[in-house]
Amino acid sequence: MRMVFRWFGEGNDTVSLGQIKQIPGVEGIVWALHDVPAGEEWPMEKILEVRDQAAKYNLHLDVVESVNVHEDIKLGLPTRDRYIQNYITTIERLAQVGVKVICYNFMPVFDWARTELHKTMDDGSTALFFEKSKIDGIDPFKFVQEINQNSTLTMPGWEPERLEHLNSLFEAYKGVSSEDLWEHLAYFLKAIVPVAERYGIQMAIHPDDPPWPIFGLPRIITGQESLRRLLKIVDSPSNGITLCSGSFGANPDNDIVSMIHEFHERIPFAHIRNVRVYDNGDFIETSHRTQDGTVDITGIVKAYHDNGFTGYVRPDHGRHLWGEECRPGYGLYDRALGIMYLWGLWDALERVQPITRKEGSI
Ligand code: DNO
Ligand code: MN
């Protein structure tokens, strides 16, 4: 298990590289150029800038999250080829700085969705919360306004510029079924996976969050069956998964331990976090500890360990603790605590039965 930590970039994150460096066992950052709009090529000089910043702290750049996919690709429009070409150029440039994994998602219009960014928990900490009945009834336009009003930093997936076009986007998705979306994903993967393969990069799709359709838009990466289908589209190690336990865990029917046993060879990147799901379908993001939520974090770490996992792992969202002012879900404290919990589990498992490493592996 190779521990990495998401960092949004200089001036775009309340957490510094110096702080990240002090979290035990963190070897690299999970990064992106958040100011480059989806569909555009990532400029080499900006990539090199991040490389130099990380190098000062001896943190690697192996994992990128995310290179976002332009809506025209998801919609299957004729203009998609131009955006796919740009995506390929970005892959080639990322290969030049040694990137090994590119996380992306294929959710129409919105990335992750929550109804509250600072829900107060019993202990006074706050966390991201999803109230099912609220999202079922809310006008998406109002929802977007609220999200942006409640955060001082723009959040990936919710950038105001992109969302200015919300009307036309919703219009464009009318008549796009989930089968259409699968076809568009297949078209995209068939174009980019051979390129990634050539450069030794693994593409790793992030599940839909939450893993069901919202606002009448289709969502397809929702559970074990959909991962099976995804992997068959292009049967290559470069067509992989970012297995996010919190996203899949929002649907209690998802058996994440079973997913790990089935797909571990195609999981280059794991997001590990817990959520507490309530009977009415609401969920809140809790501490990483197993007892604190409904996702079996201990079982998940054990499943990775049982399969000799050598991929990258990051704690995913955390709560906001001790008065920390930060990007929603991305404070320093709770994610650092999460890392120590994951290491605790991992080291105990290693002590009981060390992973026998193959020649040449890490
Ligand atoms: C939620 C987070 C996501 C993720 C993107 C990846 O679980 O990990 O916001 O960063 O969806 O594309
Ligand atoms: Mn995630």
The pLDDT tens digits for 138-189 are 777 777 777 777 666 666 566 666 667 788 888 899 999 999 999 999 999 9
What does the pLDDT read at residue 152?
A: 64
Which percentage of the chain shows pLDDT scores above 90? 83
346 lines ligand 1 (CB under 6 A): no
Tell whether the model's pLDDT for residue 289 goes beyond 50.
Answer: yes
362 pLDDT exceeds 60?
no
Please state, rounded to an integer, the average pLDDT across all residues of the chain.
93
Closest ligand 1 atom, residue 156 Cα: 9
Tell me how far the alpha carbon of residue 317 lies from the centroid of ligand 1, in angstroms.
9
pLDDT given at position 153: 60
* Count of Cβ atoms closer than 10 Å to residue 296 Cβ: 17
Are 222 and 212 a contacting pair, CB within 8 Å?
A: yes
What is the phi/psi pair of residue 303, to 5°? -65, -40
Apex CA 268: angle with CA 23 and CA 186, to 5°?
A: 135
Q: Residues 193-219: pLDDT tens digits?
A: 999 999 999 999 999 999 999 888 999
Q: What is the per-residue pLDDT for 255?
A: 98
Phi, then psi, of 233 in degrees rounded to 5: -60, -50
Residue 111 CB-half CA count within 13 A: 21
What are residue 203's phi and psi, to 5 degrees? Answer: -75, 140
Cβ of 15 less than 6 Å from ligand 1? no
Q: Collapse the DSSP code of 103 into the 3-class scheme (helix H, G, I; strand E, B; otherwise coil) and give the result.
A: strand
Catalytic annotation, residues = 206, 244, 271, 316-317, 330
Tokens of 305: 């360990």
Amino acid code (one letter) for 339: I
Measured in Å, residue 85 CA sits from the centre of ligand 2 at 26
CA atoms within 13 A on the CB side of 245: 33
Q: How many CA atoms lie within 13 A of 210 on its CB side?
A: 26
Between residues 155 and 77, the one the model is more confident about: 77
pLDDT for the residue numbered 151: 67
Classify burial at 362, counting beta carbons within 10 Å of its beta carbon; exposed 0-12, middle 13-18, buried 19 or more.
exposed
Q: What share of the chain is helix, strand, coil (3-state, %, to 5)?
A: 40, 15, 45
**H helix runs in 201-320, sequence order:** 224-233, 245-249, 256-263, 297-306
Cα 309 from Cα 103, distance rounded (Å):
18
DSSP structural state of residue 268: S
Question: Using a 6 Å cutoff on CB, does residue 128 contact ligand 1?
Answer: no
pLDDT bucket at 262, cuts 50 / 70 / 90: very high
pLDDT tens column, 120-132:
999 999 999 999 8
- Spell out the residues 6+ positions from residue 219 whose beta carbon is closer than 8 angstroms to its own: 107, 108, 178, 208, 211, 212, 213
| Cβ neighbours for 74, distance < 8 A, ≥ 6 positions apart | 106, 108, 181, 184, 185
Residue type, position 358, single letter: K
The predicted-structure confidence for 323-346, as pLDDT tens digits, reads as follows: 999 999 999 999 999 999 999 999
> How many whole angstroms from 112 Cα to the centroid of ligand 1?
6
Give the pair of three-digit tokens for residue 184: 């568009």
One-letter amino acid of 255: D
Q: Which tokens hold the place of 158?
A: 């919710």
pTM of the model: 0.94
pLDDT for the residue 149: 72
Determine the atom of ligand 1 nearest the C-alpha atom of 316: 8
| Contacts of residue 329, Cβ cutoff 8 Å, sequence gap at least 6 | 117, 127, 128, 285, 316, 317, 318
ipTM metric: 0.95
Q: Is the CB of 31 under 6 A from ligand 1?
A: no
Indicate the DSSP class of residue 41.
P
| Count of alpha carbons within 13 angstroms of residue 256, beta-carbon side | 31
- 190-209: b (≥16 Cβ within 10 Å) or e: ebbbebbbeeebbbbbbbbb
